[in-house]
Amino acid sequence: MNRYLWIVLVLVGLAAPFVFYPVFVMQLLCFALFACAFNLLLGYTGLLSFGHAAFFGGAAYVTGFLVKHAGFTPGLGVLAGTAVAALMGYLFGSLAIRRQGIYFAMITLALAQVVYFVALKAPFTGGEDGLQDVPRGMLFGVIDLGHTYHVAGRPLELNLYYFVFAVFCLGFWLIYRAIHSPFGQVLKAIRENEPRTVSLGYRVDRFKLLAFVLSAALAGLAGSTKSLVFQLASLTDVNWHTSGEVVLMTLLGGLGTVLGPVVGAVTVVTLQSELSAIGSWVTAVIGATFVICVLAFRRGMVGELGKYLKRSL
């Protein structure tokens, strides 16, 4: 991929809070990271997890709780959330990897439902009310993430924004490196033809598990960051609707493309935000988008664009 594109995108990211509502852009970044992490598992390894919200939301709760009640700094809180998500990924992955296809998806769904009900009942999550009033804290003890600058009459939380942007870039870079490494090549081989890869002597299960853990950890990173942005972790974050949405973001953007999930996430989140005024139609529109994508648009937006340009994006 051309270096100029990356530079343009980074510049866009740096300038964004001055043009758009920063909280909205941060939301886009969190979900874009979530979708990219998911794509690593579905687009590149070929494993459909229907319970990724468990990692996203689980990490959100962990970070929220630690920052609010245990005095963790935001950096440590996010690290802790990511670590917990990775651990969950290891546990869930070990169980799920033993089966294939539909069964794999069903196990991940069941495990995610367990996480949902734990979140509903556990005392520290606040149940229906959610974990509210999560402080943004002092990054590394010096930078106040909650600080609001006033630029041209608009209140901008720039410290928080650049933190989130940095997190996104780091996560995206990690995924990019993983995809373009020998490890990534094996994952693609597994997706294309698993028995062949086995016959070539690769310990396929180990690769799958590693991909799962990596995907879970980065989804957790996205969730942890999100809890700081919205100062809230709630049941919506661990709900199976959210698991479904990340599938849609990846599918819509383009499975197995680098930028696809970002495009998909931006589209879906923007859609939801714009349509929120018309209430439940959002669900119907998301459903319709799914149906259209599956029937006619399986390569997704970036995938189709890539095919048109005859190069992989």
Partner 1 sequence: MHLSPQMVLAQLMLGLNNGVFYALLSLGLAVIFGLLNIINFAHGALYMLGAFVALLGYTTLGPLLGMPDFHLNYWAALIVAPLVVGLFGILIEKTMLKRLYKVDHLYGLLLTFGLALILEGVFSNYFNVSGTSYNGKPAILSGVVNLGFMFFPTYRLWSIGLSLVVCFGTWYVIERTKLGAYLRAGTENPSLVQAFGVNVPLMVTLTYGYGVALAAFAGVVAAPIYSVSPIMGAETIITVFAVVVIGGMGSIMGSIVTGLSLGMVEGLTKVIYPPAANTVIFFMMILVLLVKPEGLFGKDQ
Partner 2 sequence: MNNRIMQVVTGFAILAMAVSAGAAGISNDAVKIGVLTDMSGVYSAIGGEGSVTAAKMAVADFGGKVLGKKIEIISADHQNKADIASTKAREWADTDHVDMIIGLLNSGCALAVQKIGTDKKMVTIATGAGSTALTNKDCGPYGIHYVYDTYSLPKVAASAIIDHGGKSWFFLTADYAFGHSLEENTAAFVKKHGGEVLGQVRHPLATSDFSSYLLQAQASGAKVIGLANAGGDFINSVKQAREFGIVQGGQTIAGMLVFLSDVKSLGLDVAQGMEFATAFYWDRNDASREWSQRYFAKTGAMPTMNQAGVYSATMNYLKAIKAAGTDNADAVIKSLQGMKIDDFFSVNGHLRPDGTMVHDMFLVEVKKPSESKGPWDLLKIIKQVPGDEAFMPMSEGTCPLVMKK
Among residues 248, 245, 260, 244, the alpha carbon closest in space to that of 292 is found at 248
Task: Say how far apart CA 118 and CA 97 lie, in whole Å.
Answer: 23
Q: How far is the CB of 238 from partner 1 (least distance, A)?
A: 13
Residues in 196-255 at the binding interface with partner 2, rule: CB under 8 A:
230-232, 234-237
Find out whether 251 and 300 touch, Cβ atoms under 8 Å.
Answer: yes
Helix (H) or strand (E) holding 138: strand 138-139
Q: How far is the CB of 233 from partner 1 (least distance, A)?
A: 20
* Main-chain dihedrals φ then ψ at residue 52, nearest 5 degrees: -70, -20
Q: Encoding tokens for residue 193?
A: 């033809």
Nearer to partner 2, 182 or 279 (CB): 279
Of the candidate spans 144-152, 198-206, 263-271, 284-292, the one that interacts with partner 1 by CB under 8 A turns out to be 284-292
For residue 120, the tally of other CB atoms under 10 A from its CB is 12
The verdict on 19 binding partner 2 (CB under 8 A) reads yes
The verdict on 209 binding partner 1 (CB under 8 A) reads no
312 binds, among partner 1, partner 2, none (CB under 5 to 8 A by kind): none
The verdict on 71 binding partner 1 (CB under 8 A) reads no
Of the candidate spans 46-54, 86-94, 186-194, 262-270, the one that interacts with partner 2 by CB under 8 A turns out to be 262-270
Task: Say how far apart CA 246 and CA 36 lie, in whole Å.
Answer: 9
For residue 91, the tally of other CB atoms under 10 A from its CB is 13
Q: Encoding tokens for residue 241?
A: 């609707």
The verdict on 251 binding partner 1 (CB under 8 A) reads yes
Find out whether 216 and 86 touch, Cβ atoms under 8 Å.
Answer: yes
The verdict on 62 binding partner 2 (CB under 8 A) reads no
Exactly one of 21, 149, 173, 281 binds partner 1 (CB under 8 A); that residue is: 281
Task: Say how far apart CA 98 and CA 209 lie, in whole Å.
Answer: 10
262 binds, among partner 2, partner 1, none (CB under 5 to 8 A by kind): partner 2
Exactly one of 127, 135, 146, 244 binds partner 1 (CB under 8 A); that residue is: 244
Q: How far is the CB of 114 from partner 1 (least distance, A)?
A: 5
Instruction: Spell out the residues 6+ positions from residue 41 whose beta carbon is closer than 8 angstroms to its own.
Output: 47, 49, 52, 211, 212, 215
Nearer to partner 1, 213 or 251 (CB): 251
Exactly one of 153, 201, 280, 311 binds partner 1 (CB under 8 A); that residue is: 280
Among residues 19, 286, 238, the alpha carbon closest in space to that of 111 is found at 238
Residues in 111-130 at the binding interface with partner 1, rule: CB under 8 A:
111, 113-114, 117-118, 120-121
